Amino acid sequence: MPEDAARNLTKQKLSARELVLCLNLRLTRSVDIAMVAKAGGYDALYVDMQHAPYSIETTATLCAAALGIGVTPLVRVPSHDAQWMSRVLDGGAQGVIVPDVETREQAEAVVRHCRFPPLGRRSVMGLGPALGYRALPLGELNERLNAETVVVVMLETARGIDNAEAIAAVAGIDVLLIGSGDLTTDYGIPGQVDHPRLRAAYERVAGACRAHGKTLGVGGIRHNVALQGELIRLGARFVIAGTDVNYVLAGARQDTAALRAIPLG
């Protein structure tokens, strides 16, 4: 792997306040998806172990494929268990997305699980795929991995939004990602992404991110380009822009609709 391929493109773009577009994987098992993501204009992809039955082995394989072409591989882990976070990072993920973070204490625990000392307590693996198995002194290796790892926490409940300021203040967190589907469900307005209460939540988290130098992320509003544009203007720089499932379905529906509209002779 070339030296620059081991660099985390998403980390670099977020540091420069540039827009990062991420593809959600729930269906794909083939390594070709990394090339498709890159050809489609994506900066990152994330393997969704929370809502899809990915094995740890398949997840690591997809991460390795993305690493090789400069697309940032992320993994949404299924729980707050430390072992999930450390195993996907050891397997080649350049970042972790942790669902349903509601408190400062939970955010601090995520940092402990994802970062090496002095920032956290992640167990040391040594050489691994995230840096191309490059032989480095352990101190330098740990420092590089800390620098190249993106830590994303998802705010998906009213409690998480209420604690956004405290969560954003935690050192070692990079992105506060609002899960709009779960949040609207928790608010009792499922799917109503234009509801004023959801807009207030976006604004509250955006303010917390600005105050503490963190990145606002948004998900659950795929294909709503108008709302995505509003949120980008509000400060969002990490956007879950599509899923493999939705792309396959959209293409299938378009083709079958066109064919069924042809008059039968």
Instruction: Give catalytic residues, as residue numbers.
Output: 51
d(CA 111, CA 114): 5
Closest C-alpha to 76, from 43, 52, 104: 52
Give the C-alpha distances (Å, rounded to integers) separating 142 from 9, 32, 174, 262: 19, 30, 18, 61
d(CA 188, CA 241): 24
Residue 162 φ/ψ, nearest 5 degrees: -60, -30
- Residue 52: exposure state from Cβ atoms within 10 A (0-12, 13-18, ≥19): buried
Residue 103 φ/ψ, nearest 5 degrees: -140, 160
d(CA 228, CA 230): 5
Q: Is the Cβ–Cβ distance between 210 and 199 less than 8 Å?
A: no
- Residues written for the chain: 265
Degrees, nearest 5: CA angle 9-14-15 = 100
